Amino acid sequence: MIEIKRFAPRLVAGMNVFKITDVEYKKDFGRLSLTLVTENGGKLWQNFDLENENGMGAFSGLALAVFPDLEDSIDENSLVGQYIKFDIEQVEYMKGDEKKKAWNKVKGTPYEHVEDNEKWDKPATPSTDDDLSFLD
């Protein structure tokens, strides 16, 4: 018997609800990366350059959407387990001479917090080797 590998479902353009499953903050470089997972196991990574005014503004918008009463700082790990909703689109870009595609947040659309989203259905089949037990 040959085991069949299942791949993560593709993301769908439009409004998506994500659970923040991991935060990696590289303070020395001013970079923050969030791992976000959809109900069906699709993944998206959001990266923020916190030394850049636009990057800090984007991250602040996300943090304030999740915790509207924030004063002036946040423990980045408090974002893990939170649900956030925003519009995504697939964009094309050039890498050298090659055209590539990537998923990005639609510019100008706000982040919206979603209260604990326990109503997610389990995926029909395991989608990755990653631990998605939070979907159970």
Divide the 136 residues of the chain into consecutive groups of 10 and give the mean pLDDT of each group. Answer: 69 90 96 93 92 94 93 93 92 90 85 75 40 47
The reported pLDDT for the residue numbered 6 is 64
The reported pLDDT for the residue numbered 2 is 77
Cα–Cα dist 41/7, whole Å: 9
The reported pLDDT for the residue numbered 42 is 87
The reported pLDDT for the residue numbered 118 is 58
| Side-chain half-sphere exposure of 41, counting CA atoms within 13 A | 17
Query: The domain 16-115 is classified under which CATH number: 1.10.3470, 2.40.50, 3.30.160, 1.20.120?
Result: 2.40.50
Taking the C-alpha atoms of 73, 112, 80 and 116 in order, what is their torsion angle to the nearest 10 degrees?
130
pTM equals 0.76
Helix (H, G, I), strand (E, B) or coil at 5: coil
